[in-house]
Structure 1
Amino acid sequence: MIGLDHIVLCVADVAATRAFYERVLGMESREERPGKYSLHFGPHKISLQGARTAPAIARDTVPGSGNFCLLTETPVAEVVAHLDALGIAIVDGPGERAGATGPIWSVYFRDPDGNLVEVSNRIGAP
């Protein structure tokens, strides 16, 4: 393996999910083809799959089963203040965790479907 191309989130309401990630995390929503949306940030993509329109290959995927970590250069303290201002409950943190390339400082919250979203800063990054 050489990297991660994208992840897919199964969601109950694609429009609500798009609005949440645009408002809360500043992601850009794009319509890749008619009715098929994705969220973009830097070179990364989260594809959105509506639960009622999921293809047969993904039929057992359910909304709220996602759990992923995003990196940001915005200090986690500012992320926490932003979440508080938007009325989004923090599930855990801030605290130190083990990231893919070293220690991270992160905070957890849930999106409208209950997916667990972690936003983090690398500790000791150059």
Structure 2
Amino acid sequence: MAQEDKKQPAAVLNHIAVYVTDLKLATDFYESVFNLPQIPEPFHDGKHTWFSLGSAGQLHLIQGAKSKEIHDKNEHLCFSVTSIDDFIIKLKTKNIAFENWPGAEGAVTLRIDGVKQIYFRDPDGHWLEVNNDR
């Protein structure tokens, strides 16, 4: 009975897997947009790219999606940056369109807690949020 009362430690996030149609395009996108460092992956089959997300875990890109799908904005990955303004400049230089939560192109959402957010899609249409979580 005493063993059942013991609380187990909370699970921690290990990785997020994103299924992509073009691994090279997706790898180049995530590496250049987010400056993510690649880490070794054990398969060496040309179908995987792994990135470190620091203490948050890893991002695994997996080649094999047959087509791009329409994804709901509510299902998104979120990255925090120190300067949303500098990040927006980077997106503009890469011709990557972004929008606020309601969908106004080139606009920024200002949350009630003061956090600024933008949303855009990766090459496969997966939604991404970037914020200046402070």
Return the TM-score normalized by structure 2: 0.69
Equivalent position amino acid for 1:49 in 2: I
**What is residue 24 of structure 1 aligned with on the other side?**
33
For residues 40-82 of structure 1, give each alpha carbon's deviation from its aligned partner in whole angstroms, at most 9, with x where no partner exists: 23233111122259xxxxxxxx766461111222x11111111
- Shift in alpha-carbon separation, 1:45–1:63, aligned structure 2, 3 A: farther
**What is residue 119 of structure 1 aligned with on the other side?**
130
Is 1:37 aligned with 2:49? yes
Give, in whole Å, the separation in 1 of the partners of 2:70 and 2:54: 24
Higher fraction of strand:
1
For residues 67-117 of structure 1, give each alpha carbon's deviation from its aligned partner in whole angstroms, at most 9, with x where no partner exists: 1111222x111111110011111132421248xxx6631111111101111
Q: Percent of counterpart pairs with the same letter?
A: 24
Is 1:76 aligned with 2:87? no
Equivalent position amino acid for 1:82 in 2: K
- Shift in alpha-carbon separation, 1:39–1:63, aligned structure 2, 3 A: farther
Give, in whole Å, the separation in 1 of the partners of 2:130 and 2:114: 13
The alignment partner of 1:22 has SS state of helix
Query: Which ranges in structure 1 are unaligned for 5 or more consecutive residues?
Result: 54-61
Greater gyration radius? 2
RMSD: 2.5
How many pairs align?
111
**What is residue 96 of structure 1 aligned with on the other side?**
110
Q: Deviation of residue 7 (structure 1)?
A: 0.8
The alignment partner of 2:115 has SS state of strand
Equivalent position amino acid for 1:69 in 2: C
CA contact (8 A) 1:28 1:40 kept: yes
